[in-house]
Amino acid sequence: MPTNGMILVFYLGKIPGFNLYSTDSDKTVALFTISILFLATCIAPLLIALALKKLKIISSLKMPNREERSIPFLLTCFCYFGAYYYLRYEQELPLNGLIFYFIFFGMFATLLGFVVTLFWKISIHMIGIGGITGILSFLSKFNQDVLLYPLSVSFLIAGLIGFSRLRLKAHNAKQLIAGFCLGFCCELFGIFYLFN
């Protein structure tokens, strides 16, 4: 989900009223940033999950039990932090500081999701799509006309993901709503707080 969100943000990066790049940049900066996020938030967690399954720490890659989700969740938080730290402090990328806020609050939502998982099962999928929807809601501040369609689509996708998770009996409605609200609020309100 973080990779999909970042691809969308870079695609919308030059909407009227908002410039994603702090200087004149080309697509290599976007590709580099997306690649690091993909490695840290998709490939690394997948490899971690495969290793945990091989070590019999988790019974399935689906991790149906709340207790099994804690270790993979925490390790994913470390991967997310590694990507954030590397992109923010180890590279001198000519990007608008908002990009780093997007990544930071995505990491923060994941960390809060880990804490919630210690006591209650929450939908990781909905945290992700909630975060993307929160980012788009924030960006709509710059140009509502351009963002209306992507924002509407993100709400539609959130509904489809929620419906599919219910249909698969992976979560109940409360877990789905809580996941969406967690991701949405972390991104939207966190960025509003720092940006204003």
Q: Which pLDDT tens digit goes with each residue over 57-75?
A: 888 888 878 888 889 889 9
CA distance 43 to 189: 29
* DSSP three-state, residue 42: helix
> What rounded mean pLDDT belongs to the chain?
86
- The H or E element that residue 30 is part of is helix 27-38
Please check whether residue 190 is in contact with residue 101, taking contact to mean a CB–CB distance below 8 angstroms. Answer: yes
Domains: count for the chain = 1
Find the range with the poorest average confidence among 18-27, 102-111, 121-130, 136-145: 18-27
The span from the CA of 150 to the CA of 147, in Å, is: 5
Q: Which domain holds residue 59?
A: 2-195
Q: What is the mean pLDDT of residues 103-119?
A: 92
pLDDT category of residue 185 using cuts at 50, 70 and 90: very high
